[in-house]
Amino acid sequence: MDPLSDVLSLLKPRNYLSAGLDAGGDWAIQFPDQQAAIKCGAVVSGQCWLSVEGVPDAVRLDTGDCFLLPRGRPFRLASDLSLPPVAASTIFSPARTGGITSHNGGGDFLLVSSRFALAGDHAGILLRMLPPIVHIRGESDRSALRWPVERMMQELREPQPGGFLVVEHLAHMILIEALRLHMAEGLRVGWLFALADRQMGAAINAMHDDPAHGWTLQELGERVGMSRSTFALKFKQMVGTSAMDYLTRWRMLLAGDRLANSSDPVSVVALSLGYESESAFSTAFKRVMGCSPRQYGRGRNAPSHGQAANANRLEPIAS
């Protein structure tokens, strides 16, 4: 797999609700804390404002626009932000399983949206590199994103046998396409944006393809046609951490997943990731993950919130 697929597979994003909103007239809806879920939405028709708690400036959403809210913060959607909002709980049934909800008679604004829960503490890998609002404008070349959005709306309007799975897969497609488009927008620090660079993307691909290999800066530099020093500098500048630190942290995240989800002993996990010495592996694991491999595997003495945040930080927090 490629690195983005690797990370998303490790985080196991699970779509637990996709639905549509059909609003009319003047309206404002306040949505609660999303409980650490990623909210992903796409405007099928009409326009509205999006305001997220803690973000000073609201965002204008037009037809074809898509947005991601990676931090799970409370937010507001409105035709006019000066209007007093109604709570989402008064509009959407707590027991709803999808479909399209009409508000204020509908007819002026149509939105499809999904919420994704991410597995475990590793969610910080993805969430900390994204701003509170990722706004992707609906330009003419965004057909790869428009197709799943329009198909999802069709599935929500006209439920068919197997529709739940179709909507779930479409939601994943929308999430991935939105991340791809965000990667292509400008130069920022972080491994997600480094993937869009030919040389850094190739180096990260190599490490993900064979994490157990004894990679060196010299070998990685040669792999992408750069000198050792030039490669090391560019990787640090683009990813926000050294190549060797990135490799170690990726190995430990893979190890954590295996320790939590398999019965493999620590020695086997260590060997599979290139560590001939279990003690060396355990030292690296504790430094990155905040506890010993055996503690992690048992789910006991889990690292504190601060330790987990540091362990998952593959790059500086995006602004």
Q: Stretch 299-306: mean pLDDT, rounded?
A: 43
Average pLDDT, the chain: 84
The pLDDT tens digits for 99-156 are: 889 999 999 999 999 888 877 656 766 677 788 898 988 775 667 778 888 888 888 8
Can you tell me the distance from the alpha carbon of 86 to that of 289, in angstroms, rounded to the nearest whole number? 42
Residue 282 has pLDDT above 70, yes or no: yes
More confident position, 75 or 314: 75
> What are the tens digits of pLDDT across the range 101-114?
999 999 999 999 98
Pairing type for strands 38-45 and 109-117 reads antiparallel
Q: What share of the chain is helix, strand, coil (3-state, %, to 5)?
A: 45, 20, 40
The pLDDT assigned to 11 comes to 77
Higher pLDDT, 1 or 44: 44
Tell me which of 57-71, 92-106, 150-164 is least confident: 92-106
pLDDT over 80 (residue 316): no
Mean pLDDT (whole number) for 42-57: 94
| pLDDT at residue 303 greater than cutoff 60 | no
- Tokens 């750069």, located at residue: 226
Mean pLDDT value of segment 297-315:
45
What pLDDT sits at residue 212?
A: 96
In this structure, what are the phi and psi dihedrals at residue 38, rounded to the nearest 5 degrees?
-85, 130
- Rounded CA gap, 220 and 272, in Å? 20
CA gap 195, 202 in Å, rounded: 8
The fraction of the chain above a pLDDT of 70, given in percent, is 87
Instruction: Say what the pLDDT of residue 96 is.
Output: 61
Return the pLDDT at 225: 96
Q: How many helices (H) and strands (E) does the chain have?
A: 13, 11
pLDDT band at 163 (very low <50, low <70, confident <90, very high): confident
Q: Give long-range contacts, CB 8 A cutoff, 24+ apart: 281-286.
A: 281/255, 284/248, 284/251, 284/252, 285/252, 285/255, 285/256
Q: Is the pLDDT of residue 12 over 70?
A: yes
Residue 315 has pLDDT above 80, yes or no: no
Structure tokens belonging to residue 183: 């990667």
- Would you say 68 and 174 are in contact if contact means Cβ atoms under 8 Å apart? no
Over residues 219-242, the pLDDT tens digits come to 999 999 999 999 999 999 988 889
> What pLDDT does residue 305 have?
39
